[in-house]
């Protein structure tokens, strides 16, 4: 018998003939190959096993300690036969005995494979355990310090293009929260951040409103006086990652 096949040790009792058991007692030898069905298995899977003894007679009604080879591994899944699992012994559809698994001995290949996986899992855990205090925590602390120092606009927009920060800060400081900010140019990049940071101001494409409109969607268009440019409706223009303000 291959050492690669898993085995179980179990205590089992065969039913007496009066209880519906076999007429003739079985012998504990490799010629006997019944099926086991684990209690509680919703699918009642038949698990083929092979006895391994040297021909001892298994007296019905008495408890016997026997060793079984899980003969169809790995084609059949025997995971349910863990120590403590209760089962019935079947010959076809007929129940001839019952038992409980005492010990499970995996094959050598399985033992090796599982040890390898457990070692890898331990390596993964050690790696993760050292990373959280050594990397994740200090980096997060530095990031939060940076956020608090620079403010949300400086933190987000400043990382992308520091020269765009004043434009976004001006919009937040000088325009009412319910206003509509016109935008133009590229929308990807800093414009994405600006629109989110300036909530609840609405960002509307410049060409969607007439030149002399003062409102859109019932809300005022953002207006301000810019040094050297005069007073007018503000337009935030995106150019790659940079933002600048224009007057319309």
Burial class (CB in 10 A: 0-12, 13-18, 19+), 223: middle
- Strands 230-239, 180-185: pairing kind: parallel
CB nearer to another protein: give 1 or 76.
Answer: 76
Q: Which is nearer to another protein, 6 or 50 (CB)?
A: 6
Asked if residues 161 and 243 have their Cβ atoms less than 8 Å apart, the reply is yes
Q: In terms of CB distance, is 50 or 60 closer to another protein?
A: 60
Q: Distance (Å, rounded) from C-alpha 197 to C-alpha 167? A: 12
Segment 170-199, which members bind another protein (CB under 8 A)?
Answer: 183, 187, 191-193, 195-197, 199
Does residue 1 bind another protein (CB under 8 A)?
no
Q: For residue 103, state whether it binds another protein (rule: CB under 8 A).
A: yes
Residue 200 in the binding site for another protein (CB under 8 A): yes
Residues 32-61 touching another protein, rule: CB under 8 A, are: 38-43, 45, 58-59, 61
Residue from 17, 19, 124, 240 in contact with another protein (CB under 8 A): 124
Minimum distance, C-beta of residue 227 to another protein, in the bound complex (Å): 27
Which residues pair with residue 2 across a beta bridge? none
85 binds another protein (CB under 8 A): yes
Structure tokens that stand for 45 in this block = 């899977």
Q: Which of residues 143-162 bind another protein (CB under 8 A)?
A: 143-144, 147-148, 152, 155-156
In this structure, are residues 8 and 103 in contact, taking their beta carbons and an 8 Å threshold? yes
Binding residue (CB under 8 A) for another protein from 52, 105, 186, 248: 105
The DSSP annotation for 84-141 comes to T-EEEEEETTEEEEEEEEEEEE--HHHHHHHHHHHHHHHHHHHHHHHHIIIIIHHHHH
Q: Does the footprint of another protein cover residue 89 (CB under 8 A)?
A: no
Q: How far apart are CA 19 and CA 12, in angstroms?
A: 15
Considering only residues 202 to 241 of the shown chain, the ones binding another protein according to CB under 8 A are 202-205, 207-208, 217
Under the binding rule (CB under 8 A), the answer on residue 127 touching another protein is yes
């Amino acid at each position: 018998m291959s050492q690669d096949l898993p085995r179980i040790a179990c205590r089992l009792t065969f039913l007496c003939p009066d209880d519906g058991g076999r007429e003739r007692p079985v012998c504990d030898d490799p010629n006997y190959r019944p099926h086991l069905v684990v209690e509680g298995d919703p699918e009642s899977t038949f698990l083929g096993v092979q006895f391994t003894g040297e021909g001892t007679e298994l007296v019905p009604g008495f408890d016997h300690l026997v060793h079984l080879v899980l003969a169809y591994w790995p084609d059949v899944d025997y995971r349910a036969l863990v120590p403590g699992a209760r089962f019935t012994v079947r010959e076809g559809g007929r129940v001839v005995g019952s038992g409980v698994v005492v010990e499970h001995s995996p094959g050598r290949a399985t033992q090796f494979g599982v040890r390898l996986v457990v070692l890898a899992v331990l390596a993964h855990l050690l790696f993760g355990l050292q990373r959280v205090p050594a990397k994740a925590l200090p980096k997060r602390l530095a990031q939060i310090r940076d956020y608090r120092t620079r403010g949300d606009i400086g933190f987000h927009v400043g990382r992308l293009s520091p020269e765009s920060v004043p434009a976004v800060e001006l919009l937040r400081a000088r325009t009412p929260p319910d206003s509509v900010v016109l935008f133009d140019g590229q929308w990807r990049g800093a414009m994405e951040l600006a629109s989110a940071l300036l909530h609840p101001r609405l960002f509307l494409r410049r060409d969607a409103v007439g030149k002399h409109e003062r409102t859109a969607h019932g809300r005022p268009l953002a207006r301000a006086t810019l040094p050297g440019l005069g007073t007018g409706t503000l337009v935030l223009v995106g150019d790659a990652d940079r933002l600048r303000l224009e007057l319309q």
